[in-house]
Amino acid sequence: EHKITENTEESGNVLSKFETAAVLSDSAREKTVFVHGKISGQDAVVILEKTPIQKEVLSQIFSESRLKLQMKNDIYSTYQLQAPAHLNEIKTTVVFPATQKHIQKYQRQESFLLEETAEDYFSITLPYIQEQHFSVQWVYNILEKKAESERILFEDTDPKTGFVLLPDFKWNQKQVDDLYLIAISHLRDIKSLRDLTSEHLPLLQNILLKGQDLILSTFGLPRSKLRVYLHYQPSYYHLHVHFTHLGFDALGSGVERAHLIQDVIQNIQINPRFYQTRTLYFPVRADDGLLRKYREAGKM
Amino acid sequence: EHKITENTEESGNVLSKFETAAVLSDSAREKTVFVHGKISGQDAVVILEKTPIQKEVLSQIFSESRLKLQMKNDIYSTYQLQAPAHLNEIKTTVVFPATQKHIQKYQRQESFLLEETAEDYFSITLPYIQEQHFSVQWVYNILEKKAESERILFEDTDPKTGFVLLPDFKWNQKQVDDLYLIAISHLRDIKSLRDLTSEHLPLLQNILLKGQDLILSTFGLPRSKLRVYLHYQPSYYHLHVHFTHLGFDALGSGVERAHLIQDVIQNIQINPRFYQTRTLYFPVRADDGLLRKYREAGKM
C-alpha cells in the first residue's frame, strides 16, 4: 500500500505545476530555500533543504559519481561531483494551500541593532512592553503544573530562588550534542535583565549551580561544556535562563543578544544597579513593533 | 582544452580508488563531511559539501525531478526529491597526498569553557602566551605595507589611535550579506582585551566610528547592521577588531568568545582596570596548550 501511494504521487508530481512567484528566503550555509508560488491558482510555499551527507553511503558516492575537475594547485584539487540522484536527495516540504500568514512566516526578516540607553528603556521600551500586554499565561501554566508537567526535569520550589528546568522545544532530546534546556524562575515580577538587582543574586546563582548539577547528573555534561545565558530582549517577559551545549551553535547565542549568566552575576556584584543604568544593544526584526517605536522617537 | 582536462579527469575518477579510513567530522546543519582515507596506499583527505540551492534552476528542479511522498497532514506534506545530478552537485575537495597535520586540522575538536580569574591570567595564561612566542610578524608586514597592501580598504596612520581596515580572508567580497572586515591597530603592545585600559579608549572609539563610517560609505551598510567585537582569547596576540554583518552568523560571534566593542568601551569607562580585574570565560579546543596548563594547575 505504501508503494501505491508513492507511485500515485510520483505520477502526479505536484511541483511540476508549481509556478514560482518569489524566493522568500534562503541560506547558502544551510543549503535551504523557501519559495512562494501558485499551484492551480492557489498560494503554496515550497521548502527545499539538501539532506545531510549520509556516512553509510559514502563509498557508493565515491564509486558511482561523476567528477569534473575545477581547480588543481599542488596537493589541493577541487571537483564538482554528480552523485546518483537516490544518494543525494533534497528534503521537500509543501504547504498547500498556504495562507498569507504562512508566506509572511517564511519571509526573510532583516534585523537591526538597537542602542537602548537606560533612559530609552524607561521612556520607550518599558511603555511598549506594558501597552502590548504580552501574555505569559503559558509560563504560569508550567509553573502551576497545569501544562507540560511531564516535561519538567527538575524543580526547586522556593518562591524566591526556585525555578523549573525543562527541555526547550527546539531540542529533540535524542543526543546531547545540541542539548537545550530552559530554567524558568518561580518569581513573577522580573520581566528581563533590566529588572535584575543585587536582590536577585541568590536566584541567579541558584539557577546556575543547580542547573549545572542536574545537567551533569542527568546528561553527563560538565559545566565546561555549557553555555548559560539570558536573552535581551527576551522572547517573553518572565525571567528565564538558557542552557545550551557549548559545541552547539544555538540560534540566539550570538554576542548581540546573549548575556552569559556569569557576566550578569559579576556585573550586579560590582554595581547593584548595573542593569538599570547600562546602555544595552540588541537586534530587532524589521517587523518588530519596538523598532517602529525607536524610529518614531528618532533613535534610528 | 578545458574540456579535455575535464574528460581526462572524469575517466580517471580519483575517488573510485579512495578507501575510507574514518570520518573526521561532519555537519548536519551545513551538509558537509570531512573524510580521511587512502588512495593507492597514501593518505588523503576528501571534503564533501552540498552546494547552495541555485535560484536560477529552481523551475528546472521542480519540473525535472522525481518526488516520493513521505508524510501528508492537512495542508502540510513532505517529499524526498531526486533531482537531475547536474542540478544538484556536491563540491568536492581532495587533499592528496595529505600529511598528519592535514588530518588533525580537519578532525573535530571538542571545546571546553575555561574560567580565567585575573590571578589565573597573570599566573597561567600570560606566562603561556610569553613562552609560546606566537609570531605576529605577518601582522607587522600588513602594517608596514610589506604584504597585502592592495587589500587595505582604509588606514588611519596615527601611531596611537590609528589602524588599518581590510577584508577578512573568510569573506569573498562578492556580497555584503556576509561582510567580514578586520581592523588592526597600529599600536603594538596590546596583546588582548586583558591589556586594555582607559588609555586605549580613544583608540577603541576611533576604530568603531571610522570603521562604521567606511563601511557605510563603501558598502552602504549603516551601523545598525553591524556586529563589532573583539575575541577573547584572540587567535593572534595583537589588538584587532571584527566587523561582521549583523544578519550573518559569523563563526566566533557567539557570546562565549565575542565581546561587543560598545560593551568594552562602557566597561572601561566605568572602571579603567576592568579587564585587569574581571573573571573572563572563553572556549578552548581540546588540543590547545592553554587547556593543558589549566588542567595542570588543577583549574579544570
The rounded distance, in Å, linking the Cα atoms of B69 and B77 is 8
- B99 shares a domain with B26: yes
Q: Give the CA distances from residue B239 to residues B143, B192, B204, B207, in Å, rounded to whole numbers and listed in that order.
A: 12, 6, 10, 11
Distance from CA of B287 to the nearest CA of A (A): 15
- A170 shares a domain with A285: yes
Percent of chain A with pLDDT over 90: 75
Q: C-alpha cell of B255?
A: 557570546
* Partners of B277 in the β-ladder: none
- A100 shares a domain with A174: no
* Structural domain containing residue B42: 2-106
Domain containing B58 — which CATH number?
3.30.200.40
- B209 to chain A, any CB pair closer than 8 A? The answer is no
Q: What is the ipTM of this complex?
A: 0.78
pLDDT band at A12 (very low <50, low <70, confident <90, very high): low
B163's enclosing H/E stretch is strand B163-167
Judged by CB atoms closer than 8 Å, whether chains meet at B29 and A249 is answered as yes
Of A53, A85, A86, the CB nearest to B50: A53
- B265 shares a domain with B218: yes
A81 near B92, Cβ under 8 Å?
yes
- B22 to chain A, any CB pair closer than 8 A? The answer is no
Q: C-alpha cell of A207?
A: 539557577
Counted domains in chain B: 2
- B170 shares a domain with B33: no
A260 near A244, Cβ under 8 Å?
no
User: Catalytic one among A238, A240, A242, A245?
Assistant: A240
- B271 shares a domain with B172: yes
pLDDT in tens, B181-219: 999 999 999 999 999 999 999 999 999 999 999 999 999
pLDDT (average), residues A141-165:
94
Cis peptide leading into B109, omega within 30 of 0?
no
pLDDT in tens, B72-104: 888 889 899 999 999 999 999 999 999 988 898
The rounded distance, in Å, linking the Cα atoms of A183 and A154 is 9
pLDDT (average), residues B136-140:
91
- B100 shares a domain with B147: no
Residues 6+ apart with CB under 8 A from A224: A246, B112, B113, B114, B300
Distance from CA of B91 to the nearest CA of A (A): 5
Q: Give the CA distances from residue B75 to residues A38, A99, B71, in Å, rounded to whole numbers and listed in that order.
A: 14, 10, 11
CB-based burial label for A28 (10 Å; 0-12, 13-18, 19+)? middle
Residue that finishes a domain, picked among A106, A140, A169: A106
- B283 shares a domain with B235: yes
pLDDT band at B172 (very low <50, low <70, confident <90, very high): confident
Which chain A residue has the Cα nearest residue B221? A112
Q: C-alpha cell of B175?
A: 556580497
- A155 shares a domain with A101: no
Q: What is the pLDDT of residue A6?
A: 40
pLDDT in tens, B2-28: 333 343 444 458 898 899 999 999 887
Residue that finishes a domain, picked among A106, A127, A142: A106
- B132 shares a domain with B44: no
- A158 shares a domain with A30: no
The rounded distance, in Å, linking the Cα atoms of B297 and B174 is 47
Domain containing B225 — which CATH number?
3.30.428.10
pLDDT in tens, A95-139: 999 998 889 888 888 899 999 999 999 999 999 999 988 889 989
- B205 shares a domain with B175: yes
Residue that finishes a domain, picked among B87, B106, B125: B106
